[in-house]
Amino acid sequence: MSHLPILPILLPLFAGALLLMLPSLERVKRSISVISTIALVPLALLLMQQAGDGQLRVYALGSWQPPFGIILLLDRLAALMLLATSVLASCAVLYAVRGDDRVGMRFHALFQFQLLGINGAFLTGDLFNLFVFFEILLIASYALLMHGNGAQRVRAGMHYVILNLAGSALFLIAVGTLYGITGTLNMVDMARQVAAADPSQAPVLAAAGLVLLLVFGLKAALLPLYFWLPRAYAAASSPVAALFAIMTKVGIYSILRVYSLIFGPEAGELANLAQPWIWPLALVTVILGALGALAATSLQGLLAYLVVVSAGTLLAAIALGTPEAQGAALFYLLHSTWVAGALFLLADLVARQRGDKAGLLVQGPALQNPHVLGAAFFYGAIAVAGLPPLSGFFAKLMLLQAAPPGAGALPLWSVLLIGGFIALVALSRAGSTLFWRTGHQALGSAELDGGRLFATLLLLSGSLLLVVFGQPLLDYAQATAAQLNDLNLYRGILGETGA
Protein backbone atom coordinates (compact mmCIF):
# COMPACT_ATOMS: atom_id res chain seq x y z
CA MET A 1 0.00 0.00 0.00
CA SER A 2 1.13 3.56 -0.72
CA HIS A 3 2.90 5.47 2.04
CA LEU A 4 1.68 8.83 0.73
CA PRO A 5 -0.99 9.36 3.44
CA ILE A 6 1.63 9.55 6.21
CA LEU A 7 3.93 11.99 4.39
CA PRO A 8 2.01 15.16 5.45
CA ILE A 9 2.83 14.11 9.02
CA LEU A 10 6.38 12.87 8.52
CA LEU A 11 7.55 15.83 6.45
CA PRO A 12 6.96 18.56 9.08
CA LEU A 13 7.96 16.13 11.86
CA PHE A 14 11.43 15.50 10.43
CA ALA A 15 11.84 19.10 9.27
CA GLY A 16 10.96 20.41 12.73
CA ALA A 17 13.31 17.96 14.46
CA LEU A 18 16.15 18.87 12.08
CA LEU A 19 15.57 22.58 12.64
CA LEU A 20 15.84 22.07 16.40
CA MET A 21 19.20 20.33 16.09
CA LEU A 22 20.81 22.64 13.56
CA PRO A 23 23.09 25.44 14.79
CA SER A 24 22.15 29.06 14.16
CA LEU A 25 22.42 29.00 10.37
CA GLU A 26 19.63 31.34 9.34
CA ARG A 27 19.76 30.74 5.60
CA VAL A 28 19.82 26.95 5.97
CA LYS A 29 16.94 26.94 8.46
CA ARG A 30 14.85 29.18 6.26
CA SER A 31 15.52 27.00 3.22
CA ILE A 32 14.53 23.81 5.04
CA SER A 33 11.35 25.38 6.40
CA VAL A 34 10.29 26.88 3.07
CA ILE A 35 11.04 23.74 1.04
CA SER A 36 9.30 21.48 3.56
CA THR A 37 6.22 23.67 3.68
CA ILE A 38 5.87 24.28 -0.05
CA ALA A 39 6.34 20.55 -0.71
CA LEU A 40 3.06 19.98 1.12
CA VAL A 41 1.14 21.70 -1.70
CA PRO A 42 1.86 19.19 -4.50
CA LEU A 43 1.55 16.41 -1.93
CA ALA A 44 -1.93 17.62 -0.97
CA LEU A 45 -2.91 17.85 -4.64
CA LEU A 46 -1.68 14.30 -5.22
CA LEU A 47 -3.65 13.07 -2.22
CA MET A 48 -6.73 14.90 -3.50
CA GLN A 49 -6.32 13.14 -6.82
CA GLN A 50 -6.08 9.77 -5.06
CA ALA A 51 -9.05 10.46 -2.81
CA GLY A 52 -11.04 11.69 -5.80
CA ASP A 53 -11.87 8.13 -6.84
CA GLY A 54 -14.23 7.90 -3.85
CA GLN A 55 -12.33 5.11 -2.10
CA LEU A 56 -11.11 5.35 1.49
CA ARG A 57 -7.42 4.73 2.08
CA VAL A 58 -6.43 3.35 5.45
CA TYR A 59 -2.85 3.52 6.63
CA ALA A 60 -2.42 1.28 9.66
CA LEU A 61 0.79 1.94 11.57
CA GLY A 62 2.64 -1.26 12.40
CA SER A 63 0.26 -3.18 10.11
CA TRP A 64 -2.20 -3.61 12.97
CA GLN A 65 -5.62 -4.19 11.48
CA PRO A 66 -8.31 -1.72 12.58
CA PRO A 67 -9.97 -1.26 15.00
CA PHE A 68 -7.07 -2.40 17.21
CA GLY A 69 -4.24 -0.40 15.65
CA ILE A 70 -3.64 3.29 15.09
CA ILE A 71 -4.83 4.29 11.65
CA LEU A 72 -4.66 7.26 9.36
CA LEU A 73 -7.71 7.74 7.16
CA LEU A 74 -7.47 9.51 3.82
CA ASP A 75 -10.79 10.54 2.33
CA ARG A 76 -11.89 13.52 0.30
CA LEU A 77 -12.43 15.65 3.41
CA ALA A 78 -8.95 15.04 4.80
CA ALA A 79 -7.34 15.75 1.42
CA LEU A 80 -9.29 18.99 1.00
CA MET A 81 -8.26 20.19 4.46
CA LEU A 82 -4.62 19.36 3.70
CA LEU A 83 -4.80 21.53 0.59
CA ALA A 84 -6.27 24.46 2.53
CA THR A 85 -3.51 24.17 5.14
CA SER A 86 -0.58 23.74 2.76
CA VAL A 87 -1.44 26.75 0.58
CA LEU A 88 -1.99 28.97 3.63
CA ALA A 89 1.19 27.80 5.36
CA SER A 90 3.32 28.22 2.23
CA CYS A 91 2.39 31.88 1.87
CA ALA A 92 2.78 32.49 5.62
CA VAL A 93 6.30 31.03 5.70
CA LEU A 94 7.31 33.00 2.58
CA TYR A 95 6.18 36.13 4.42
CA ALA A 96 7.95 35.15 7.64
CA VAL A 97 11.37 34.63 6.06
CA ARG A 98 11.48 38.33 5.15
CA GLY A 99 12.35 39.09 8.76
CA ASP A 100 9.46 38.17 11.06
CA ASP A 101 11.16 34.90 11.96
CA ARG A 102 14.05 36.80 13.58
CA VAL A 103 12.10 38.38 16.45
CA GLY A 104 12.16 35.22 18.55
CA MET A 105 13.75 31.82 18.84
CA ARG A 106 12.87 28.57 17.05
CA PHE A 107 10.21 30.07 14.81
CA HIS A 108 10.63 27.62 11.96
CA ALA A 109 10.76 24.53 14.16
CA LEU A 110 7.58 25.64 15.92
CA PHE A 111 5.97 26.39 12.55
CA GLN A 112 6.69 22.84 11.37
CA PHE A 113 5.38 21.29 14.57
CA GLN A 114 2.22 23.35 14.20
CA LEU A 115 1.77 21.88 10.71
CA LEU A 116 2.46 18.42 12.12
CA GLY A 117 -0.41 18.79 14.59
CA ILE A 118 -2.81 20.28 12.04
CA ASN A 119 -2.13 17.68 9.35
CA GLY A 120 -2.28 14.85 11.87
CA ALA A 121 -5.66 16.04 13.16
CA PHE A 122 -7.04 15.96 9.62
CA LEU A 123 -5.70 12.49 8.86
CA THR A 124 -6.21 10.50 12.04
CA GLY A 125 -9.01 7.96 12.26
CA ASP A 126 -8.55 7.52 16.00
CA LEU A 127 -10.26 9.72 18.59
CA PHE A 128 -7.41 9.58 21.10
CA ASN A 129 -4.86 10.51 18.45
CA LEU A 130 -7.09 13.41 17.50
CA PHE A 131 -6.47 14.55 21.08
CA VAL A 132 -2.72 13.93 20.66
CA PHE A 133 -2.48 15.98 17.49
CA PHE A 134 -4.61 18.70 19.08
CA GLU A 135 -2.04 18.92 21.87
CA ILE A 136 0.87 19.07 19.42
CA LEU A 137 -0.65 21.94 17.46
CA LEU A 138 -1.71 23.75 20.63
CA ILE A 139 1.72 23.52 22.29
CA ALA A 140 3.34 24.89 19.14
CA SER A 141 0.70 27.62 18.90
CA TYR A 142 1.34 28.71 22.51
CA ALA A 143 4.95 29.49 21.65
CA LEU A 144 4.15 30.97 18.23
CA LEU A 145 1.54 33.28 19.71
CA MET A 146 4.12 34.80 22.08
CA HIS A 147 6.90 34.75 19.47
CA GLY A 148 8.60 38.12 19.72
CA ASN A 149 7.48 38.75 23.30
CA GLY A 150 5.63 41.95 24.20
CA ALA A 151 3.21 42.53 27.06
CA GLN A 152 0.14 42.38 24.82
CA ARG A 153 1.14 38.99 23.42
CA VAL A 154 1.92 37.61 26.86
CA ARG A 155 -1.50 38.68 28.19
CA ALA A 156 -3.31 37.27 25.17
CA GLY A 157 -1.19 34.13 25.38
CA MET A 158 -2.09 33.52 29.01
CA HIS A 159 -5.82 33.59 28.28
CA TYR A 160 -5.31 31.37 25.26
CA VAL A 161 -3.20 28.84 27.16
CA ILE A 162 -5.49 28.62 30.20
CA LEU A 163 -8.67 28.14 28.16
CA ASN A 164 -7.10 25.53 25.92
CA LEU A 165 -5.60 23.63 28.85
CA ALA A 166 -9.10 23.44 30.33
CA GLY A 167 -10.39 22.30 26.95
CA SER A 168 -7.70 19.61 26.74
CA ALA A 169 -8.66 18.26 30.14
CA LEU A 170 -12.31 18.04 29.10
CA PHE A 171 -11.29 16.40 25.83
CA LEU A 172 -9.41 13.68 27.70
CA ILE A 173 -12.33 13.11 30.08
CA ALA A 174 -14.77 12.76 27.18
CA VAL A 175 -12.48 10.38 25.27
CA GLY A 176 -11.97 8.27 28.39
CA THR A 177 -15.70 8.06 28.99
CA LEU A 178 -16.43 7.01 25.41
CA TYR A 179 -13.66 4.43 25.52
CA GLY A 180 -14.93 3.06 28.83
CA ILE A 181 -18.37 2.42 27.33
CA THR A 182 -17.55 1.44 23.74
CA GLY A 183 -14.19 -0.26 24.31
CA THR A 184 -12.64 1.35 21.23
CA LEU A 185 -10.97 4.56 20.10
CA ASN A 186 -11.29 3.97 16.37
CA MET A 187 -13.92 6.48 15.25
CA VAL A 188 -15.60 4.14 12.76
CA ASP A 189 -15.76 1.31 15.29
CA MET A 190 -16.96 3.74 17.95
CA ALA A 191 -19.78 4.81 15.63
CA ARG A 192 -20.86 1.19 15.36
CA GLN A 193 -20.71 0.69 19.12
CA VAL A 194 -22.66 3.89 19.85
CA ALA A 195 -25.41 2.89 17.40
CA ALA A 196 -25.73 -0.50 19.13
CA ALA A 197 -25.39 0.81 22.71
CA ASP A 198 -27.84 -0.18 25.41
CA PRO A 199 -30.46 2.52 26.13
CA SER A 200 -29.23 2.70 29.71
CA GLN A 201 -25.84 3.88 28.41
CA ALA A 202 -27.30 6.61 26.20
CA PRO A 203 -27.27 9.41 28.83
CA VAL A 204 -23.57 8.91 29.60
CA LEU A 205 -22.70 8.69 25.91
CA ALA A 206 -24.71 11.86 25.27
CA ALA A 207 -22.89 13.66 28.09
CA ALA A 208 -19.51 12.63 26.69
CA GLY A 209 -20.60 13.70 23.21
CA LEU A 210 -21.69 17.11 24.45
CA VAL A 211 -18.42 17.58 26.34
CA LEU A 212 -16.62 16.90 23.06
CA LEU A 213 -18.86 19.49 21.41
CA LEU A 214 -17.81 21.97 24.11
CA VAL A 215 -14.14 21.26 23.36
CA PHE A 216 -14.52 21.49 19.60
CA GLY A 217 -16.67 24.61 19.99
CA LEU A 218 -13.82 26.23 21.92
CA LYS A 219 -11.42 25.45 19.07
CA ALA A 220 -13.94 26.53 16.42
CA ALA A 221 -14.73 29.85 18.17
CA LEU A 222 -18.40 29.08 18.67
CA LEU A 223 -20.44 31.31 20.99
CA PRO A 224 -19.95 31.64 23.94
CA LEU A 225 -16.41 30.26 23.59
CA TYR A 226 -14.92 32.66 21.04
CA PHE A 227 -13.91 35.53 23.34
CA TRP A 228 -10.29 34.36 23.51
CA LEU A 229 -9.84 34.57 19.73
CA PRO A 230 -9.93 38.30 18.86
CA ARG A 231 -7.32 39.25 21.45
CA ALA A 232 -5.05 36.31 20.62
CA TYR A 233 -5.19 36.73 16.82
CA ALA A 234 -4.79 40.51 16.99
CA ALA A 235 -1.71 40.18 19.22
CA ALA A 236 0.09 37.53 17.16
CA SER A 237 2.70 38.40 14.55
CA SER A 238 1.26 38.56 11.04
CA PRO A 239 2.53 35.21 9.65
CA VAL A 240 1.40 33.47 12.85
CA ALA A 241 -2.04 35.11 12.70
CA ALA A 242 -2.28 34.06 9.04
CA LEU A 243 -1.49 30.44 9.92
CA PHE A 244 -3.98 30.62 12.79
CA ALA A 245 -6.71 31.20 10.18
CA ILE A 246 -6.80 27.41 9.83
CA MET A 247 -7.02 26.79 13.59
CA THR A 248 -10.76 27.39 13.90
CA LYS A 249 -11.21 25.12 10.89
CA VAL A 250 -9.59 22.27 12.85
CA GLY A 251 -12.39 22.58 15.40
CA ILE A 252 -15.01 22.81 12.65
CA TYR A 253 -13.50 19.78 10.90
CA SER A 254 -13.66 17.83 14.17
CA ILE A 255 -17.33 18.71 14.62
CA LEU A 256 -18.09 17.67 11.06
CA ARG A 257 -16.15 14.42 11.36
CA VAL A 258 -17.30 13.28 14.82
CA TYR A 259 -20.94 14.36 14.60
CA SER A 260 -21.50 12.96 11.12
CA LEU A 261 -19.77 9.66 11.88
CA ILE A 262 -20.09 8.81 15.58
CA PHE A 263 -23.22 10.80 16.45
CA GLY A 264 -24.67 10.98 12.95
CA PRO A 265 -28.11 10.05 11.64
CA GLU A 266 -27.58 6.33 12.35
CA ALA A 267 -26.56 6.71 16.00
CA GLY A 268 -29.91 5.51 17.35
CA GLU A 269 -31.08 7.52 20.34
CA LEU A 270 -28.07 9.82 19.94
CA ALA A 271 -28.66 10.64 16.28
CA ASN A 272 -27.75 14.22 15.31
CA LEU A 273 -26.72 14.95 18.88
CA ALA A 274 -25.03 18.27 18.17
CA GLN A 275 -27.42 19.80 15.66
CA PRO A 276 -29.92 21.38 18.13
CA TRP A 277 -27.00 23.11 19.88
CA ILE A 278 -24.93 24.20 16.91
CA TRP A 279 -27.71 25.80 14.86
CA PRO A 280 -28.77 28.66 17.18
CA LEU A 281 -25.26 29.22 18.58
CA ALA A 282 -23.77 29.49 15.10
CA LEU A 283 -26.31 32.09 14.00
CA VAL A 284 -25.71 34.24 17.06
CA THR A 285 -21.93 33.82 16.57
CA VAL A 286 -22.22 35.38 13.11
CA ILE A 287 -24.10 38.44 14.38
CA LEU A 288 -21.90 39.03 17.44
CA GLY A 289 -18.76 38.50 15.37
CA ALA A 290 -19.94 41.10 12.86
CA LEU A 291 -20.76 43.56 15.66
CA GLY A 292 -17.33 42.92 17.15
CA ALA A 293 -15.75 43.76 13.79
CA LEU A 294 -17.76 47.00 13.68
CA ALA A 295 -16.58 47.95 17.17
CA ALA A 296 -12.94 46.95 16.65
CA THR A 297 -10.31 49.61 17.28
CA SER A 298 -7.57 48.03 15.18
CA LEU A 299 -7.39 46.43 11.76
CA GLN A 300 -6.02 43.20 13.23
CA GLY A 301 -8.89 43.09 15.75
CA LEU A 302 -11.42 43.64 12.96
CA LEU A 303 -9.95 40.75 10.97
CA ALA A 304 -9.98 38.53 14.04
CA TYR A 305 -13.71 39.11 14.45
CA LEU A 306 -14.22 38.31 10.78
CA VAL A 307 -12.64 34.92 11.50
CA VAL A 308 -15.37 34.47 14.12
CA VAL A 309 -17.99 35.40 11.51
CA SER A 310 -16.63 32.83 9.07
CA ALA A 311 -16.60 30.15 11.79
CA GLY A 312 -20.24 30.85 12.65
CA THR A 313 -21.19 30.78 8.96
CA LEU A 314 -19.52 27.40 8.47
CA LEU A 315 -21.12 25.89 11.55
CA ALA A 316 -24.57 27.17 10.56
CA ALA A 317 -24.21 25.47 7.18
CA ILE A 318 -23.01 22.24 8.80
CA ALA A 319 -25.94 22.35 11.23
CA LEU A 320 -28.37 22.24 8.29
CA GLY A 321 -27.24 18.65 7.91
CA THR A 322 -27.79 18.28 4.16
CA PRO A 323 -25.05 17.20 1.71
CA GLU A 324 -25.72 20.34 -0.37
CA ALA A 325 -25.13 22.62 2.61
CA GLN A 326 -22.03 20.70 3.67
CA GLY A 327 -20.58 20.87 0.16
CA ALA A 328 -21.18 24.63 0.01
CA ALA A 329 -19.62 24.97 3.46
CA LEU A 330 -16.44 23.19 2.34
CA PHE A 331 -16.10 25.54 -0.64
CA TYR A 332 -16.63 28.50 1.72
CA LEU A 333 -14.01 27.01 4.06
CA LEU A 334 -11.32 27.25 1.38
CA HIS A 335 -12.32 30.81 0.55
CA SER A 336 -12.52 32.09 4.12
CA THR A 337 -9.25 30.45 5.21
CA TRP A 338 -7.13 31.87 2.41
CA VAL A 339 -8.70 35.33 2.36
CA ALA A 340 -8.47 35.75 6.15
CA GLY A 341 -4.83 34.66 6.13
CA ALA A 342 -4.01 37.08 3.32
CA LEU A 343 -5.72 39.99 5.09
CA PHE A 344 -3.66 39.40 8.24
CA LEU A 345 -0.52 39.66 6.10
CA LEU A 346 -1.87 42.77 4.36
CA ALA A 347 -2.69 44.37 7.72
CA ASP A 348 0.98 44.07 8.67
CA LEU A 349 2.08 45.72 5.41
CA VAL A 350 -0.22 48.64 6.15
CA ALA A 351 0.87 48.86 9.79
CA ARG A 352 4.54 49.05 8.80
CA GLN A 353 3.84 52.34 6.99
CA ARG A 354 1.95 53.98 9.86
CA GLY A 355 4.64 54.18 12.52
CA ASP A 356 3.36 54.09 16.09
CA LYS A 357 -0.25 54.17 14.83
CA ALA A 358 0.35 50.71 13.31
CA GLY A 359 -3.01 48.99 12.79
CA LEU A 360 -5.07 51.33 15.00
CA LEU A 361 -8.14 52.67 13.23
CA VAL A 362 -7.27 56.31 13.85
CA GLN A 363 -5.87 59.04 11.64
CA GLY A 364 -2.22 58.42 10.85
CA PRO A 365 0.49 59.45 8.42
CA ALA A 366 0.03 59.06 4.69
CA LEU A 367 1.02 55.68 3.35
CA GLN A 368 4.07 55.48 1.14
CA ASN A 369 2.35 53.01 -1.21
CA PRO A 370 -1.36 53.85 -0.92
CA HIS A 371 -2.35 52.67 -4.40
CA VAL A 372 -0.88 49.17 -4.16
CA LEU A 373 -1.99 48.58 -0.58
CA GLY A 374 -5.34 50.27 -1.12
CA ALA A 375 -6.13 48.14 -4.17
CA ALA A 376 -5.13 44.99 -2.28
CA PHE A 377 -7.31 46.00 0.68
CA PHE A 378 -10.27 46.77 -1.59
CA TYR A 379 -9.89 43.39 -3.28
CA GLY A 380 -9.63 41.59 0.08
CA ALA A 381 -12.61 43.47 1.53
CA ILE A 382 -14.78 42.54 -1.45
CA ALA A 383 -13.72 38.91 -1.10
CA VAL A 384 -14.26 38.59 2.64
CA ALA A 385 -17.56 40.52 2.60
CA GLY A 386 -18.95 38.23 -0.09
CA LEU A 387 -19.42 40.69 -2.95
CA PRO A 388 -19.17 39.75 -6.65
CA PRO A 389 -17.19 38.80 -8.64
CA LEU A 390 -14.88 37.02 -6.18
CA SER A 391 -15.25 33.64 -4.45
CA GLY A 392 -16.92 34.97 -1.30
CA PHE A 393 -20.01 35.92 -3.30
CA PHE A 394 -20.39 32.51 -4.90
CA ALA A 395 -19.63 30.69 -1.65
CA LYS A 396 -22.33 32.59 0.26
CA LEU A 397 -24.78 32.28 -2.61
CA MET A 398 -24.36 28.50 -2.56
CA LEU A 399 -24.83 28.46 1.22
CA LEU A 400 -28.08 30.40 0.91
CA GLN A 401 -29.35 28.20 -1.91
CA ALA A 402 -28.53 25.08 0.12
CA ALA A 403 -30.86 26.09 2.94
CA PRO A 404 -34.00 23.94 2.77
CA PRO A 405 -37.22 25.93 2.29
CA GLY A 406 -39.12 26.69 5.46
CA ALA A 407 -38.03 27.46 8.99
CA GLY A 408 -34.32 26.92 8.30
CA ALA A 409 -34.01 29.28 5.35
CA LEU A 410 -35.37 32.45 6.96
CA PRO A 411 -32.95 32.70 9.90
CA LEU A 412 -29.96 31.68 7.77
CA TRP A 413 -30.71 34.19 5.02
CA SER A 414 -31.40 36.93 7.56
CA VAL A 415 -28.28 36.32 9.63
CA LEU A 416 -25.86 35.92 6.72
CA LEU A 417 -27.14 38.97 4.88
CA ILE A 418 -27.26 41.18 7.98
CA GLY A 419 -23.88 39.91 9.19
CA GLY A 420 -22.38 40.48 5.74
CA PHE A 421 -23.73 44.04 5.62
CA ILE A 422 -22.31 44.86 9.06
CA ALA A 423 -18.94 43.40 8.05
CA LEU A 424 -18.99 45.50 4.88
CA VAL A 425 -19.65 48.66 6.92
CA ALA A 426 -16.79 47.78 9.28
CA LEU A 427 -14.39 47.20 6.39
CA SER A 428 -15.50 50.42 4.67
CA ARG A 429 -14.86 52.38 7.86
CA ALA A 430 -11.44 50.79 8.26
CA GLY A 431 -10.51 51.45 4.62
CA SER A 432 -11.53 55.11 4.73
CA THR A 433 -9.57 55.63 7.98
CA LEU A 434 -6.41 53.92 6.75
CA PHE A 435 -6.28 55.24 3.20
CA TRP A 436 -8.24 58.53 3.13
CA ARG A 437 -8.16 60.09 6.61
CA THR A 438 -4.40 60.51 6.62
CA GLY A 439 -1.85 63.24 7.06
CA HIS A 440 0.01 64.80 4.17
CA GLN A 441 3.43 63.36 4.96
CA ALA A 442 4.57 59.75 4.73
CA LEU A 443 7.06 58.39 7.21
CA GLY A 444 10.62 58.35 5.96
CA SER A 445 11.13 54.92 7.54
CA ALA A 446 8.13 53.37 5.78
CA GLU A 447 8.88 50.49 3.46
CA LEU A 448 7.13 47.97 1.26
CA ASP A 449 9.12 44.76 1.10
CA GLY A 450 8.72 42.99 -2.24
CA GLY A 451 8.87 39.50 -0.73
CA ARG A 452 6.16 40.24 1.81
CA LEU A 453 3.96 41.83 -0.85
CA PHE A 454 4.42 38.81 -3.13
CA ALA A 455 3.37 36.36 -0.39
CA THR A 456 0.33 38.49 0.43
CA LEU A 457 -0.84 38.87 -3.17
CA LEU A 458 -0.20 35.18 -3.82
CA LEU A 459 -2.55 34.21 -1.01
CA LEU A 460 -5.09 36.86 -1.99
CA SER A 461 -5.14 35.43 -5.50
CA GLY A 462 -6.66 32.27 -4.03
CA SER A 463 -10.06 33.99 -4.08
CA LEU A 464 -9.78 34.57 -7.82
CA LEU A 465 -8.52 31.03 -8.44
CA LEU A 466 -11.55 29.69 -6.59
CA VAL A 467 -13.68 31.46 -9.18
CA VAL A 468 -11.63 30.33 -12.18
CA PHE A 469 -11.53 26.72 -10.98
CA GLY A 470 -14.78 26.99 -9.07
CA GLN A 471 -16.72 24.23 -10.80
CA PRO A 472 -14.15 21.43 -10.31
CA LEU A 473 -13.60 22.46 -6.70
CA LEU A 474 -17.32 22.70 -6.04
CA ASP A 475 -17.86 19.27 -7.59
CA TYR A 476 -15.11 17.92 -5.34
CA ALA A 477 -16.67 19.58 -2.27
CA GLN A 478 -20.12 18.18 -3.09
CA ALA A 479 -18.61 14.71 -3.63
CA THR A 480 -16.87 15.11 -0.26
CA ALA A 481 -20.17 15.85 1.45
CA ALA A 482 -21.81 12.86 -0.24
CA GLN A 483 -18.95 10.63 0.87
CA LEU A 484 -19.28 11.86 4.48
CA ASN A 485 -22.91 10.80 4.49
CA ASP A 486 -22.15 7.30 3.15
CA LEU A 487 -21.62 5.62 6.52
CA ASN A 488 -21.52 2.13 5.01
CA LEU A 489 -18.38 3.13 3.11
CA TYR A 490 -16.64 4.05 6.37
CA ARG A 491 -17.77 0.88 8.11
CA GLY A 492 -16.00 -1.06 5.39
CA ILE A 493 -12.55 0.02 6.62
CA LEU A 494 -12.85 -2.23 9.68
CA GLY A 495 -12.05 -5.22 7.50
CA GLU A 496 -9.07 -3.64 5.73
CA THR A 497 -5.47 -4.50 6.40
CA GLY A 498 -3.06 -1.65 7.04
CA ALA A 499 0.32 -0.85 5.52
The DSSP string of 193-251 is: HHHT--GGGHHHHHHHHHHHHHHHHHHHT-TTS-THHHHHHHHS-HHHHHHGGGHHHHH
Looking at the fold, whether 167 and 278 belong to one and the same domain comes out as no
Residue 440, pLDDT score = 65
Q: Count each helix (H run) and each strand (E run) in the chain, helices first.
A: 21, 4
Overall domain count for the chain = 2
- Per-residue pLDDT reduced to its tens digit, 443-477: 666 678 889 999 999 999 999 999 998 899 999 99
User: Which of 247, 272, 297 is a domain's end point?
Assistant: 272
Global pTM reads 0.93
Do the domain assignments include residue 369? yes
Looking at the fold, whether 268 and 280 belong to one and the same domain comes out as no
Do the domain assignments include residue 491? no
| pLDDT < 50 regions, the chain | 496-499
Number of C-beta neighbours around residue 114 at 10 A: 27
23: burial class by Cβ within 10 Å (0-12, 13-18, 19+)? exposed
Do the domain assignments include residue 228? yes
Three-state DSSP string of 289-300: HHHHHHHCCEHH
Do the domain assignments include residue 477? no
The contacts of residue 202 (CB under 8 Å, 6+ apart) are: 268, 269, 270
- Which residue type, as a one-letter code, is found at position 241? A
Looking at the fold, whether 192 and 327 belong to one and the same domain comes out as no
Strand, helix or coil for residue 137: helix
Looking at the fold, whether 12 and 25 belong to one and the same domain comes out as yes
Looking at the fold, whether 315 and 394 belong to one and the same domain comes out as yes
Buried b (16+ CB within 10 A) or exposed e, 385-418: bbeeebbbbbbbebbbebbeeeebeeebeebbee
Do the domain assignments include residue 488? no
Looking at the fold, whether 153 and 169 belong to one and the same domain comes out as yes
Distance CA 148, CA 233 (A): 14
Residue 490, pLDDT score = 87
Distance CA 77, CA 282 (A): 21
Strand, helix or coil for residue 162: helix
Distance CA 101, CA 415 (A): 40
Residue 496, pLDDT score = 46
User: Which of 244, 272, 300 is a domain's end point?
Assistant: 272
Angle at the Cα of 319 from the Cα atoms of 406 and 198, rounded to 5 degrees:
115
Distance CA 264, CA 257 (A): 9
How far, CA to CA in Å, does 68 sit from each of 65, 91, 183, 496? 6, 39, 10, 12
Do the domain assignments include residue 484? no
Do the domain assignments include residue 253? yes
Looking at the fold, whether 260 and 285 belong to one and the same domain comes out as no
Looking at the fold, whether 293 and 184 belong to one and the same domain comes out as no
Looking at the fold, whether 240 and 322 belong to one and the same domain comes out as no
Looking at the fold, whether 168 and 316 belong to one and the same domain comes out as no
As a whole number of angstroms, the longest Cα–Cα distance in the chain is 74
Distance CA 302, CA 445 (A): 26
Do the domain assignments include residue 262? yes
Query: What single-letter DSSP state applies at residue 103?
Result: S
Q: Which domain holds residue 53?
A: 1-272
Looking at the fold, whether 71 and 213 belong to one and the same domain comes out as yes
User: Which of 272, 294, 312 is a domain's end point?
Assistant: 272
Looking at the fold, whether 410 and 299 belong to one and the same domain comes out as yes
Residue 179, pLDDT score = 92
Residue 64, pLDDT score = 75
DSSP 363-431: -EEEPSSHHHHHHHHHHHHHHHHT-TTSHHHHHHHHHHHHSPTTTTHHHHHHHHHHHHHHHHHHHHHHH
Residue 407, pLDDT score = 62
